[in-house]
Each structure stands twice: as C-alpha cells, then as structure tokens.
Amino acid sequence: MKTVVLTAWTPNMEVVVNMTSPTKIAYARKHAYEFRGHILEQKPNEHPAWGKLALLLEILPQVDRLLWIDADSFVTNPEIALEQIPYIDGLTASRDWGIDATLLDFSSAGMILTPKALPLIEAASRKRHWANYPLWDQDGLREAAREFKNLLHILPRRTLNAVPQALHPFAIEPWQKGDFLCHLTFTSNEERKKFLDHFFRDWAE
C-alpha cells in the first residue's frame, strides 16, 4: 500500500516548518511511508491555504492512502501507525478544537484520505467563495461534506487535532502526552516557535 505523508507551507512559515517537518519525515521513515513537502503559491484573490485542495487533487490519485498534516502541526507520538486509527475509505478528520464546534465541524489540519474521497475534494474546490475567506479549505471541505456524508468520518478532537492548553487555555480536549499530533493553531509564528523550543527542550523524552 502506497502511503504518503503530505504537508505544505508558505515561505513565511519556514521557521516553524524547520521544526515540525523533521517529525513528519521521521514518522514516515519509521512506518515505511513516503514524505512529501510543498511550498504553496501566493495567487491573486486566493489565500495560500486554498492551494491545499489543488495539492490533494494532484496527489491523491497517485496513492492508496494519504495523511495530510498542516505545517503548524507536528508528530508527538510516532509509535501510532495509521492502521491504529479508525479511518474510513474516504476522508477521516477530527472534530475541531473550539467549544462551539458541533459534531460535524471537523478540522482539516490533520486528515487521512483515500482516493475514494476525490469527489468530496473536487466539490470543495468548486466552492470558491471560501478561497479568500477564513477558514478557506476547511470551510470548503465542510460545505462539500454535506453532499458527501458517506465519504466523511469524524473522530474525537485529540485523534488528529489536539491543541495544547499552553497556547489555548480554553481548548476542549487539549493535547496530552501520548497523542499522535499537536496542532499549534491560531497563533503567531513567533509563539509557535517558542512553544516548539520549549517542547523539544523540556517535554519530549
């Protein structure tokens, strides 16, 4: 089975990516997956994050399984193979981290996808009213998922979208040691780097 661990970033994220991508590369190597990293283009009237959908449409047909991890997320438990996560033949994501997130409000920061999810991704890419309006690809995917509920599986927050309380004190089901991924969302790159410096110095064992 060909499995790709995929991430992408804009040049302003380099200081973060230099710390998060090595965890993804090591994770892919450990489980005999392939790692791919891409730089997202800046296009007129389109937020760079919208480019995630085009990247998924390009790469997903080439693989059997794809693990997407946002640039501001990193692997904190490399022992967890994808086979240990209850994903479906389609798109699997976690519930978003906020207190107001409903059971259907999923995060696109961490996703497990198979080629069967392509109709959902294609539908999301056509919802261009989100292309420059937060939360870009995530809102496009959420809207498209209403048409393709049979291709969507939503897991608990901490499975693929654990957010640390050190950055967000009111995070619901926050990151805990032993979780697969840690998502440093809704903060500055400076704060992300501070968190990562602290994590790799004092928390990781």
* Section 75-103 average pLDDT: 93
Phi first, then psi: what are they for 133, rounded to 5°?
Answer: -135, 120
pTM: 0.96
Alpha helices in the chain (DSSP H): 14-30, 51-59, 118-125, 137-145, 157-160, 189-198
Q: What is the pLDDT of residues 168-190, one digit of tens each?
A: 998 989 999 999 999 999 999 99
| Tokens (6 digits) for 200 | 């790799």
Question: Tens of pLDDT along 5-60?
Answer: 999 999 999 999 999 999 999 999 999 999 999 999 888 889 999 999 999 999 99
Pick the CATH number of 3-203 from 3.90.550.10, 3.30.2130.10, 1.25.40.10, 3.40.50.11720: 3.90.550.10
Rg of the Cα atoms in the chain: 16
Q: Where are the domains of the chain?
A: 3-203
- 24 closest CA partner among 14, 34, 12: 34
Q: Quick check: 205 pLDDT over 70?
A: no
